[in-house]
Chain A
């Protein structure tokens, strides 16, 4: 039982390049979330999904897109990377019902945009 797995763990991009971060969970959770973590800023919600085929914007969605084609996977895309998107990205999942459930986090992806 791996929990929440994020791929890749590290990545360096050049400005303007695109990439996709993958989050996979094996706990049959309905809700999934993407956060970014910057020094002194806590965890800020980028996008989230309350079920397969559904996504919604969070606090800082600009410059990112997401897809939830399968219940176990939640993809975060950067279409044209910018230095301001240098951050640590965390994916999390929680059981069905509401947002008021414990969230299980992945190990994070450290992304640098040059």
Chain B
């Protein structure tokens, strides 16, 4: 089955800097790659997703890139703000349910 690896597990950045979180997946049939943000004590919430027919997608300060050949995808957050501090999860799915990475705890230091 699918296996999703996520790195790093923790990330600290200064406010205003960029943050990058990377994920790799194992199943070449996977074609949907969402990213979820979970604030402390809250539910996971979708922030952006990308499908296999697209190489990059942007939404304001957030972007996701996908390299199907290498089986990896990345989340990029620019001009980080304190409210970006949270745990971020990547996930992948094809014909089977989503498999999540173990998460990255992002801390934005003011």
Contact = CB atoms under 8 A, between A and B. Distances in A.
Interface string B37-71: 00000111110010100000000000000000000
Contact of B89 (A43, A48, A102): A43
Interface residues of B, number: 24
Contacts of B44: 43, 90, 105
A99 B100 contact: no
A103 interface: yes
A77 interface: no
B98 A42 contact: no
Contacts of B97: 33, 45, 48, 58, 99
A44 B91 CA distance: 11
B93 interface: yes
A89 B72 CA distance: 28
Nearest to B98: A99
Contacts of A100: 31-32, 51, 93-94
Contacts of A107: 42-43
Interface residues of A, number: 21
Contact of A108 (B43, B45, B49): B43
Contact of B46 (A45, A99, A103, A108): A103
A59 B49 CA distance: 23
A105 B98 CA distance: 13
A42 B102 contact: yes
Given A99-B93, A100-B31, A100-B51, A41 B46 contact: no
Given A90-B44, A99-B94, A106-B43, 16 more contacts: A40-B9, A41-B102, A42-B100, A42-B101, A43-B44, A44-B100, A45-B99, A58-B97, A59-B99, A99-B32, A100-B32, A101-B32, A102-B46, A102-B49, A103-B46, A103-B98
16 contacts: A33-B97, A40-B103, A41-B102, A42-B89, A42-B102, A43-B89, A45-B98, A59-B99, A90-B43, A98-B95, A100-B94, A101-B32, A102-B46, A103-B98, A107-B42, A108-B43
Interface of A: 33, 40-45, 48, 58-59, 90, 98-103, 105-108
